Amino acid sequence: MFYRLIFCFFFICSISQAQTIIPLPNSYKPDNGFFKIPESITISGIEKEFTKLIPAFSTSVQKLSSLRITETTKNGTIRLIRNPKITGREAYRLKVNPQQITVEAGFPDGCFYGLQSLTQLIHGAKTGQIVCCEMVDQPRFEWRGMMLDESRHFFGMEEVKKILNLMSLHKLNKFHWHLTDSPGWRIEIKQYPLLTTLGAKGNYSNPEADAKFYTQNEIAEIVRYAADRFIEIIPEIDMPGHATAAAKAYPEFSGGGSKKFPDFTFNPGKEGTYQFLTNILKEVTTLFPSKFIHIGGDEVSYGNQQWVDFPEIQSLMKRENAKDLIGVEHYFLKRMADSIQKLGKTMIGWDEVVSAGLTTHPRVMWWRQDQPKMLDLALKSGYEVILCPRIPLYFDFVQAESHKAGRKWAGKFAPIESVYAFPSEEFTGGISISNPLIKGLQANLWTETMQTAENLEFMIFPRLSALAESGWTNQEVKSFPNFRDRMATMTDIYQKSAVHFFDFRNSEKESEITEL
């Protein structure tokens, strides 16, 4: 009995020491012994695609610890190995023994993710040694994303890079970039310079603010930066609604709006509108190698009331036998879906696009948690779906009952426990999440209530860690108490990365950031 207790104690300690990783690996086996971390260490890789990952890994480790890493052409203490038997693109095997650490993968993506796990192991080794172990790991979902809205408030390149760094450490692989909306147009389009000289002026808090936007050179730099971290950037150019900034620059394409939302839409009755938007998307496709373009397609009814006053829209309704303004909206979506397909891209839209009957098979982002029927219809229509319901995946909703800077939905908000529990049928109205058309999940951050980097980060972290584990780790392996314990290491990483975050583990000591 005594020896059995000693073994159990060693086993539990081994797991708690080695499993400091977020997201939690799907298979972890501790072994006898420890790898003692020296002051400096060598790393080697035979494959060129693997060795090019070494500089970023070395930099990341050295920012978080005093360990010095040197690349060698000989067998390093850390070895990166291509293993063709590991067939998953993002899969890896990480082995730690007393003399050596190996990261095996079939593809660079998997090797990169193995190195992210190793980074966290090294940082979490508070005693200076890592428990010998073997991890065999790959993600639960192919789409593990986050959306940032920079139309309402603009944060700039360095803040975006900071977020991308932490996304990559968490093995998140999609960055959905909301670059255009009513408050401001944030991407340079050379064919239409007024979009940035006029359309980029103002933000949600101050309509007279100086123009803020990304030049095409800056976009290219951020896209490369993300690609080096195996993150795909998906641009969103919002249409036919949320068009106020574009209409300010090019009013000839405005479809009007409502008293509350003036110039909210593009004009679906003008042929020039489709050429204007297609020309914009052509430039966008040269900047973003992603196969996806997001065109929004949501909340059009907020500002389509004036459509009936346009003779060209009346003609469109007669010609296309559109019975109402919804029919006009659907006609617009079909036209733009066809244009995107001709550009060689796949359209993404919010769940409103499901009812348009699109034959181009867009991907759909289901965001209206109060309308599970739209999720059901998307799946029955054969559309691939990304789950991003307001509750619990809108990070502009507060994290705690007492927080004020942020939103609630009928009293509901998005605590980290709910983010971690997602996805489950509790959040989907009973619709099965095992459907193969469900490709993954994404958190969305709308920025009406935040204009500083501190506010932004406070709303993202630590919920990003919970999101990452929900997207990567299989349901049967997940455990919130275990996650809570592992967050001690991640919290330390946040602090060393100069991240402003909500310390949910010590919430009674936490003062909310409220500056706007």
What would the 3-class secondary structure string for 208-249 be? Answer: CCCCCCECHHHHHHHHHHHHCCCCEEEEEEEECCCCHHHHHH
Q: Please check whether residue 441 is in contact with residue 475, taking contact to mean a CB–CB distance below 8 angstroms.
A: no
Q: Please check whether residue 342 is in contact with residue 369, taking contact to mean a CB–CB distance below 8 angstroms.
A: no
Active-site residue identified among 170, 176, 178, 242: 242
Tokens describing residue 83: 């293993």
What would the 3-class secondary structure string for 19-52 be? Answer: CCCCCCCCCEEEEEEEEECCCEEEEEECCHHHHC
Q: Please check whether residue 482 is in contact with residue 185, taking contact to mean a CB–CB distance below 8 angstroms.
A: no
Residue carrying the six token digits 């430039």: 283
Active-site residue identified among 49, 299, 492, 503: 299
Cα distance between residue 248 and residue 268, in whole Å:
17
Active-site residue identified among 137, 181, 352, 457: 181
Q: Please check whether residue 238 is in contact with residue 347, taking contact to mean a CB–CB distance below 8 angstroms.
A: no
Clarify whether 181 is annotated catalytic.
Answer: yes
Cα distance between residue 363 and residue 355, in whole Å:
13
Q: Please give the backbone phi and psi of residue 148, each rounded to the nearest 5 degrees, phi first.
A: -120, 125
Single-letter amino acid code for the residue at 458 = F
Closest CA to 499 of 148, 23, 162, 60: 162
Clarify whether 299 is annotated catalytic.
Answer: yes
Helical pair 108-124 and 480-496, crossing angle rounded to 10 deg: 90
Clarify whether 242 is annotated catalytic.
Answer: yes
Cα distance between residue 370 and residue 373, in whole Å:
9
- Using only C-alpha atoms, the chain has a radius of gyration, in whole angstroms, of 24
Known catalytic residues are 181, 242, 299
